[in-house]
Amino acid sequence: MKFLITGGAGFIGSAVIRHIINNTQDSVVNVDKLTYAGNLESLLEVSESGRYAFEHVDICNSVELNRVFSTHQPDVVMHLAAESHVDRSIDGPADFIQTNILGTYTVLESARTYWNGLEDPKKATFRFHHISTDEVYGDLESTTALFTETTAYQPSSPYSASKASSDHLVRAWQRTYGLPTLVTNCSNNYGPFHFPEKLIPLMILNALEGKPLPVYGDGKQIRDWLYVDDHARALYLVATQGVIGETYNIGGHNEKTNIEVVKTLCDLLQELVPVSSFAHSCENSSRFSDLITYVKDRPGHDLRYAIDASKMEKELGWIPQETFESGLRKTVVWYLQNQTWWTRVLDASYERERLGTGAN
């Protein structure tokens, strides 16, 4: 099959592409605008494959999207392109409305036009898989319940509200136009190639540089953590074996408070990084945990997210392969062994090269 993947240069999208190229005989067309978080260096290991193609296209550009569909003739669309950082959505929601809502509408319309023009049996097997987040469900504070596929939507941030809107659009296009869609909602991902504005890579890299480890509020916010390669396997299963019109929740069965995550990272770094290499960057501290700093909480911060992923296990046979402990260790080791990748992200040299500009 041929997959058209929007946002394929992002964290989750690149993991999905690596999974498909490395573990199947399928081909991939990566459609990405290459915003600040889109990094083609995350795809170097598969970029020379004859089954991989890249299209530098904004998903809001309908003319270019229509060209991509016509040229590449995909069998499956996996729509991952999105603005995804909650803090950025609070500071500037416009980009989230543009990309997550209007962009999803544009992709849906291009896919619908393409799908309507297909002949059977290709039309009968076409699929549009929309990848979303557990944040659309809101806050599970004061309850031990889990998010299920039928949990009512109660988004709290501009980010989650924009993703909820995109979910509704996808389901409406299936109900109204018959477009064969599937939706997945996932918990917090972590792993290699994660842009360092998110909690786990931010803490790892700040610690290595002897910088404060900022924790919102009291750090008691609870998240369910999912290793990104486990998520990539799940997404491929849904795209190829899921039932049209269905929603699947994907979680890691790993509920942890933010402060637990940060302290576990500090312990792993203390074990894996020679003390001598740390001492020069933070002379007044003997342990990475000394760098933990509590800061003012985020506005509207949800206390708890937790996914019930039993439908994925029962219907598609998927369970995570990584525990939180094994996945987090792999993540820390990867960042320790791939300094070139994250150094170029932090100094934005990868982005300057993409834009054809010199150093600041």
Distance between CA atoms of 29 and 54, rounded to whole angstroms?
6
Region for 219 from its dihedrals, namely left if φ exceeds 0, alpha if ψ lies in -120 to 50, beta otherwise = left
The pLDDT-based confidence of 347 (bands split at 50, 70, 90) is: confident
Report, as an integer, the average pLDDT of 204-208: 93
pLDDT tens for 89-124 read: 999 999 999 999 999 999 999 999 999 999 999 999
What's residue 175's pLDDT?
98
- As beta bridge partners, residue 206 has none
Distance between CA atoms of 306 and 296, rounded to whole angstroms?
24
What's residue 274's pLDDT?
72
Write down the H helix ranges in the chain: 11-23, 62-72, 86-91, 94-96, 104-116, 122-125, 158-177, 199-208, 228-241, 258-272, 275-279, 310-316, 324-337, 339-346, 349-355
Tell me: pLDDT of 190 over 90. yes
185 close to 148: Cβ distance less than 8 angstroms: no
What's residue 277's pLDDT?
59
The pLDDT-based confidence of 346 (bands split at 50, 70, 90) is: confident
153 close to 161: Cβ distance less than 8 angstroms: no
Active site residues: 134-135, 159
227 close to 322: Cβ distance less than 8 angstroms: yes
Tell me: pLDDT of 278 over 80. no
Dihedral angle, C-alpha 48, 239, 170, 90, nearest 10 °: -60
Which one has a higher pLDDT value, 260 or 358? 260
152 burial type by CB count under 10 A (0-12 exposed, 13-18 middle, 19+ buried): exposed
Report, as an integer, the average pLDDT of 193-207: 93
Distance between CA atoms of 262 and 254, rounded to whole angstroms?
14
The pLDDT-based confidence of 359 (bands split at 50, 70, 90) is: very low
- Reduced to 3 states (helix: H, G, I; strand: E, B; else coil), residue 281 is coil
- As beta bridge partners, residue 224 has 255
Structure tokens that stand for 7 in this block = 């946002």
What's residue 230's pLDDT?
98
Please name the residue that has the structure tokens 């342990």: 287
- Reduced to 3 states (helix: H, G, I; strand: E, B; else coil), residue 145 is coil
What's residue 352's pLDDT?
55
β-pairing, 222-227 with 255-257? Answer: antiparallel
26 close to 3: Cβ distance less than 8 angstroms: yes
Tell me: pLDDT of 206 over 60. yes
Please name the residue that has the structure tokens 């896919």: 111
- Reduced to 3 states (helix: H, G, I; strand: E, B; else coil), residue 143 is coil
Tell me: pLDDT of 280 over 50. no
Distance between CA atoms of 114 and 112, rounded to whole angstroms?
5
The count of other CB atoms within 10 Å of the CB of residue 43 is 24
Tell me: pLDDT of 354 over 80. no
What's residue 357's pLDDT?
40
Query: The sheet that has 52-56: what strands, in order across it?
Result: 52-56, 27-32, 2-6, 76-79, 127-133, 181-186, 247-250
**Could you tell me what percent of the chain has a pLDDT over 70?**
93
Of the candidates 6, 67, 72, 44, which has an alpha carbon nearest to the alpha carbon of residue 239? 6
Q: What is the pTM of this model?
A: 0.93
- Asked if the peptide bond before residue 121 counts as cis, ω within 30 degrees of 0, the response is yes
Distance between CA atoms of 293 and 291, rounded to whole angstroms?
6
The pLDDT-based confidence of 141 (bands split at 50, 70, 90) is: confident
Tell me: pLDDT of 142 over 90. no
17 close to 46: Cβ distance less than 8 angstroms: yes
Domain ranges in the chain are 2-190+226-255+305-323
CATH number of 2-190+226-255+305-323: 3.40.50.720
320 close to 231: Cβ distance less than 8 angstroms: no
Tell me: pLDDT of 353 over 90. no
The pLDDT-based confidence of 355 (bands split at 50, 70, 90) is: low
